[in-house]
Structure 1
Amino acid sequence: MPMAEIPLCVWRKRGHSFVFRGHAIRYWTAGQGEPLLLIHGFPTAAWDWHYLWQPLAQRYRVIACDMLGFGDSAKPRDHEYSLLEQADLQQALLKHLGVDTPVHLLAHDYGDSVAQEMLARHYEDRCNLASCVFLNGGLFPETHRPVLTQKLLLSPLGWMLGRAFSREGLARSFSQIFGPQTRPSESALDDFWSLVEANNGPRILHKLIGYIPERRVQRDRWVSAMQRGDVPLRVIDGAVDPISGAHMVERYCELIPSPDTVLLAGIGHYPQTEAPVQVLKHYLAFRDSLEFPPRKLACS
């Protein structure tokens, strides 16, 4: 049964703002219970979670923001964007909301890297995490396969491509990375583009794309954190994603002890919008396993 969406116009009205290092950040929160922080990907925004928002809010205190440079948040032109700063932002948001208990993370794409940084900080006693679930993202630089648009944005001419980037360019990119039967509608593409375009967003795309080389710098620290095993982890991954699909999960299983992974057949890079019912099912099963672990039988 399809899940109810939250129209973008309604979503925007429900947002709040706070100031992070002099920049206005839009955020959303709903529900009660254990805090669950949702971290979106590139080049979109927190609205990516709208199908899951209400079902998750029935069980948890869900929190999400448009990160700096994304969606309806500030997009300063003369700014050096960093995944480390985005992790600072997430922690500042939690402090702003008075969250002082361990936080669960659900992240996607670019947000996976922010979550990896927060996981590393957890083991450095700078952050307090209860669990983390990754959706399709470049957890390992050696398995990340950027699309042509990302490669061009990384080139010396990236600033020109960003200025020329359009809804049609976004549609072409998304047609390559979504599943063949789960591509976004024209209306959804309009909404995604509205969030990219807000506050002159295309002018900074070449700056935001710096997360790809930054991942390489932090790779060993982040992978070491994932290998520690004290924070429960799960990967829920669209298998046919050409960027971070089944090949990324294969690498995850090679490197992470006792890997907990779910592959979604026929689903691409945006499982939370392509297959929200499946993502919700597998996420709740993961959380239930933390609350009700399998009983071990004693032997005599």
Structure 2
Amino acid sequence: MRIAEIPLSVWRKRGHELVFRGQTIRYWVAGQGEPLLLIHGFPTASWDWNYLWQPLAQRYRVIACDMLGFGDSAKPRDHKYSLVEQADLQQALLAHLQIDQPVHVLAHDYGDSVAQELLARHCEQTFELASCVFLNGGLFPETHRALFIQKLLLSPVGWMIGRVFDRASLDKDFSRIFGVDTRPSESELDDFWSLIAANSGPRILHRLINYIPERIQQRERWVSAMQQNQVPLKLINGAADPVSGSHMVQRYSELIPNPDTVLLHGIGRYPHTEAPVLLLRHYSAFRASLGACRELVAAS
């Protein structure tokens, strides 16, 4: 089985616009059924989900946006970017779409942290989360192994690094985080770069990277929410990711009660583009298990 790509040019034409706190946000929605919110990672955008978009839209109402500072959304230069604000954006998007039922979340990388914030809000009864599946991301700051480029962006010269970051830089850094046999094609790299470069994106990379210290600040609240076991959780992780690979799964298993994890050998940081068929199989099995649980509860 092979899943067809949605070309970036087509993807862009299907987008819609939402104004969030004075900034224009691009978003996408398709399908019918239970709402499924897809939250992308750093430094890319919601087009990351393009392989899974149509298969998931056959079963669910899928929703995604380019978060503030990413992709084709606004990228204000002097903005103080925050994971907490990105969670506010996700809630604003759901409100805009008049979704008033519990939401399932599938998140990746930076989006994992946004999902952790939504999970904390669920525990605080300010958001309704139905389930959450994490893909490679820094769920626990103590096991996150930042790339050299990330460390540079966090340094006092980070603003300079963003100015010289280009297509060749992206190629160099991405080659380190994908599986040996699943690296993106030149065409895919061109598209990733197009989304990063849109609206002078490289000039704000040093501002977006502040999500790394913010994860440390929020760590206890977010991990506590994961440990409360109020929402079905699953971790599907590419083992070959040097930043948050197999070592992240091990830490997850140590900290989270009854951990539900899958380790994808030979796959790197982007399972949804490197192995979309395999990921879809694991995600579908997870959702089927939730349905079986509901049926069991109803019958008892």
Mapping for residues 178-197 of structure 1, pairs under 5 Å: 178-197=178-197
Native 8 Å contact 2:119 2:129 kept in 1? yes
Distance in structure 2 (CA, Å) of the matches to 1:16 and 1:171: 29
Q: Deviation per CA, 1:211-256: give whole Å up to 9, x if none.
A: 0000000000000000011100000000110000000000000000
The two structures have a TM-score, normalised by structure 1, of 0.98
CA–CA separation in structure 1 for the residues paired with 2:254 and 2:263: 15
Distance 1:196 1:254 in 2: 35
| Aligned twin of 1:174 | 174
Corresponding position: 1:43 with 2:39: no
1:16-35 correspondence to structure 2 within 5 Å: 16-35=16-35
Code of the aligned partner of 1:49: W
Between the aligned residues of both structures, percent identity stands at 75
Q: Which amino acid aligns with 1:212?
A: I
1:219 corresponding residue in structure 2: 219
1:99 paired to 2:99? yes
Q: Paired residue for 1:8?
A: 8
Aligned to 2:165: 165
TM-score (norm 2): 0.98
CA contact (8 A) 2:123 2:230 kept: no
Q: Supply the RMSD in Å over aligned alpha carbons.
A: 1.0
1:258 and 2:258 aligned: yes
In structure 1, list runs of 5 or more residues that go unmatched.
none
Tell me the CA shift for residue 294 of structure 1: 9.8
Gaps of 5+ in 2: none
Report the Cα distance in structure 2 between the residues aligned to 1:147 and 1:3, rounded to whole angstroms.
Answer: 30
**Distance in structure 2 (CA, Å) of the matches to 1:173 and 1:2:** 27
Q: Residue 2 of structure 1: CA displacement?
A: 2.0
CA distance in 1, matches of 2:220, 2:282: 28
Q: Distance in 2 between matches of 1:256 and 1:248?
A: 12
> Aligned-pair distance for 1:295?
9.0
Counterpart Cα distance in 1 of 2:212 and 2:255: 20
**Alpha-carbon distance change, 164 to 123 in structure 1, aligned in 2, over 3 angstroms:** same
**Is 1:152 matched with 2:155?**
no
Secondary structure in 1 aligned to 2:181? coil
Does residue 111 of the first structure (1) align with residue 111 of the second (2)?
A: yes
